[in-house]
Amino acid sequence: MGKVEMTNRIRRLRFDHGEMTQQELANKVGCTRQTIIALEQGKYVPSVTLAFQIAKAFGVTVEEVFQYEE
Amino acid sequence: MTPQQKRAWYGLAIGIIWSLAMVAIFVVKGATAFDEDAGMRFTVYGLFIAGVLAYVAMLYVTGWRMRKEGVLVDERDRLILRKVPVYQMFAVLWTLAGWAIALSEVYHEQGQVPVVFTWLMFYSAIIVNIVFASAGTLIAYWRAK
């Protein structure tokens, strides 16, 4: 099995949503700012629940936020 | 720095001071004085209990402050903190292995080990366990970066 990579567009989506800060997004989805930082840097893969919460916060589907590449 | 990391630094500070104080007593008085000197024994018992109480008080105060400030522990924090017991376990195992090797080598000729070392092994295992609750937290957060 090849190397699996999860990428995301959280940073882009934050800026598209009125330059939302990391803290504002963290407050919306109920996680810490450190988790948003780790997500944006690709150092943390979120749970399915958190992924859905982030997508919901931006009003988009999970696939529009997270991409899975093999 | 997350509140958990701050708490870990406090715990580590207590653990290091506590360890140094314990080591200092045994270095100054000598390990075998533990059997002969009642004053030293009570000093060691007192210091051991004081260390545990200081650590528990720190956990209580920082925990109360975190609850008061509504500090959030999210899924990433929980995932990181789940690794801490592994660091603690390995630290304690290596400590006991260190004792076993050192005592076997030093007292091999005599075929017996002074009773004081059973206490020293116990104290060191407890102290290392507590120190690595904090050090393990810091290592786990550092590795998650």
Q: Which residues of B touch A44 (CB under 8 A)?
A: 76, 144
pTM of the complete model: 0.79
Lowest mean pLDDT among A14-23, B32-41, B109-118: B32-41
Mean predicted confidence (pLDDT) in A15-35:
93
User: What pLDDT score was predicted for residue A1?
Assistant: 54
pLDDT digits (tens, 9 = 90+) for B26-73: 888 887 788 788 888 888 889 999 999 999 999 999 999 988 888 888
Mutate to test the interface with A, among B6, B66, B75, B145 (most CBs of A within 10 A): B75
Domain parsing of chain A, residue ranges: 5-61
Contact status, residue B15 vs residue B55, Cβ threshold 8 Å: yes
Q: Which amino acid is at A2?
A: G
> Between the CA atoms of B105, B110, B114 and B115, what dihedral angle is there, to the nearest 10 degrees?
100
Q: Which amino acid is at A8?
A: N
Share of chain B above pLDDT 90, in %: 63
Place of tokens 């076993």: B100
Cβ B2–A32 below 8 Å, yes or no?
Answer: yes
ipTM field = 0.80
Mean predicted confidence (pLDDT) in B118-127:
90
Q: Which residues of A touch B2 (CB under 8 A)?
A: 32, 34
Q: Any idea which fold A5-61 has?
A: 434 Repressor (Amino-terminal Domain) (1.10.260)
Q: Which residues of A touch B145 (CB under 8 A)?
A: 43
Q: Which chain B residue shows the shortest CA-CA distance from A49? A: B75
Q: Which residues of A touch B143 (CB under 8 A)?
A: none
CB atoms within 10 A of CB A42: 11
